[in-house]
A and B are shown apart, each in its own frame.
Chain A
């Protein structure tokens, strides 16, 4: 990046001096057990943040707290609405919150069946969010669905098939299309490649990376796979026992881990 471009980028940053999402002191306790504790971070427009850590470290708990699916025990999460105002997510009315979830956000579940309607066609799966916000032209809905299926590499001839008839990779791609159709600004993903074969995983990751760049999406992705984090994310949070043990730029963090736990994690991967 040359100096002028860097300057413009800085100007852009300062003109929207607020992050997209701001997480402060978020903790979630399940009775006496810690889910996650004292988590702080911001995410900026167009940024991909990976939350990594071993099983049980609190990744899903944190993701669910941020995405309003699970109320934290304490802490605040503020989101910059489309009108520019920062709002505390847990102060939003339920109607506002659900509207946000269906329009400005996406949520890609590890298990596609949790994010898809398995008994309606692929086309209707993609069109549902549009219909929910008032689209009432069948021909246009179908054209949009066809276009989105194409973008996630599903043939137009599969538009009337139910996801039950799709492979795991196709289902996951359909779930992504269904989420992106309303041009969300922030997408949450919980182990999106979790249940897939390695070759299918690679293809899906390429696809996600392309879409993220093209659409300028902000993404918070949970993964226990450092390779996924390296491929997709700009920044990483490393979690252990519900705490963030290290937080930084992905390249820096993977090349030069500071926390002993991260060092262990990175070295164990490199040995494989």
Chain B
């Protein structure tokens, strides 16, 4: 491995090399045991925990000078969180950044998986607030570790049962639990369940970092990911009854945008890069004329 250049007084990508090696070891272990939460010695980062310090540390540990980084928050590249993390890595690593999914080698995300299928060689880094899917019903860490070790996952279905009993259907719409390679149950972080199928057999490497909780977990490329459900209440993704108002895309995750104070609203792609790429190809939605004004 070649030595990384020093950039603006920091070691390349902010973390010192020893810390990066420690995090890489955790990542390698996580890749070797898909879905298993590997503890790691999470470091203080120059941003608050809620800002995705777990994801930032994972990105810092895998980033190389030739990587091209994209950062999204709820599908958008231009939110405060995404912009500041992107700026952070521009400053401390001097890497190229992009908003284009196809051009990125590393995509750090909070709450979404890009609509365009990821390819081999790309890495998706998730910022995870709460990594433990069993936490909801079992607060004791010693007990949840034992439950994972012994594959005692009945509680996950208790949670889904309660959902149906209360709402008539599985009302969990994000952080929807998945089973990895028939073994570990994993929390996909607060992504909408709409994105769960994208994790299954993805060509990209998926890494999950939880800073405050000091856990890293991973899905290597082509990993089997199954969303938990009941035989008579099978897993379903959210459906939107209309296409994106700007680019006309169907079967994508839409955000509601309020247009005025008279109740005007439209539904547009949450993945802004996806939407812009389609518009650049000349694809139009029903409101694209008005929105352009």
| Interface, chain A (partner B; CB < 8 A) | 94-95, 98, 117, 119-121, 123-124, 127-129, 131-133, 136-139, 141-142, 159-160
List residues of chain A with CB within 8 A of the CB of B102.
Answer: none
Interface of A is mostly: helix
Within the assembled complex, what's the spacing in Å between the Cα atoms of A121 and B160? 12
Provide a sorted-by-A list of 27 A–B residue pairs whose CB atoms are within 8 angstroms. Answer: A94-B146, A98-B150, A98-B152, A119-B137, A120-B137, A124-B158, A124-B161, A124-B162, A124-B165, A128-B154, A128-B155, A128-B158, A131-B157, A132-B152, A132-B153, A132-B155, A133-B154, A136-B157, A136-B230, A137-B230, A137-B231, A137-B232, A138-B164, A138-B230, A138-B232, A138-B233, A160-B166
Check A131–B158 contact: CB distance below 8 A.
Answer: yes
Within the assembled complex, what's the spacing in Å between the Cα atoms of A175 and B172? 28
Check A117–B230 contact: CB distance below 8 A.
Answer: no
List residues of chain A with CB within 8 A of the CB of B162.
Answer: 120-121, 124
List residues of chain A with CB within 8 A of the CB of B155.
Answer: 128, 132
Within the assembled complex, what's the spacing in Å between the Cα atoms of A95 and B149? 9
List residues of chain B with CB within 8 A of the CB of A160.
Answer: 165-166
**Known contacts A123-B165, A128-B158; 13 further A-B pairs (Cβ under 8 A):** A98-B152, A117-B158, A120-B158, A127-B158, A132-B152, A132-B155, A136-B229, A136-B230, A137-B232, A138-B230, A141-B161, A142-B165, A159-B165
CB distance from B151 to the nearest CB of A (A): 8
How many of chain B's residues have a CB under 8 angstroms from any CB in A? 19
**Residues from 132 to 172 in B contacting A, C-beta threshold 8 Å:** 137, 146, 150, 152-155, 157-158, 161-162, 164-166
List residues of chain A with CB within 8 A of the CB of B161.
Answer: 123-124, 127, 131, 138, 141
List residues of chain A with CB within 8 A of the CB of B146.
Answer: 94
Within the assembled complex, what's the spacing in Å between the Cα atoms of A132 and B152? 7
CB distance from B228 to the nearest CB of A (A): 9
The 4 A-B pairs of least Cβ separation, nearest first, read A132-B154, A131-B157, A138-B230, A131-B154
Check A129–B154 contact: CB distance below 8 A.
Answer: yes
Within the assembled complex, what's the spacing in Å between the Cα atoms of A160 and B165? 7
Within the assembled complex, what's the spacing in Å between the Cα atoms of A142 and B164? 11
List residues of chain A with CB within 8 A of the CB of B166.
Answer: 160
Within the assembled complex, what's the spacing in Å between the Cα atoms of A95 and B152? 9
List residues of chain B with CB within 8 A of the CB of A94.
Answer: 146, 150
Within the assembled complex, what's the spacing in Å between the Cα atoms of A141 and B230? 10
Q: Mark B230-246, 1 if CB is under 8 A from A, else 0.
A: 11110000000000000
Partner of A117 from the list B137, B150, B229, B233 (CB cut-off 8 Å) is B137
Residue of B nearest to A142 (CB): B165
Within the assembled complex, what's the spacing in Å between the Cα atoms of A131 and B162? 12
Within the assembled complex, what's the spacing in Å between the Cα atoms of A138 and B164? 8
Within the assembled complex, what's the spacing in Å between the Cα atoms of A127 and B156? 12
Within the assembled complex, what's the spacing in Å between the Cα atoms of A195 and B257? 57
Within the assembled complex, what's the spacing in Å between the Cα atoms of A48 and B7? 76
List residues of chain A with CB within 8 A of the CB of B232.
Answer: 137-139
List residues of chain A with CB within 8 A of the CB of B231.
Answer: 136-138
Within the assembled complex, what's the spacing in Å between the Cα atoms of A133 and B153? 9
List residues of chain B with CB within 8 A of the CB of A138.
Answer: 161, 164, 230-233
Within the assembled complex, what's the spacing in Å between the Cα atoms of A270 and B164? 53
Within the assembled complex, what's the spacing in Å between the Cα atoms of A235 and B152? 36
List residues of chain B with CB within 8 A of the CB of A133.
Answer: 154
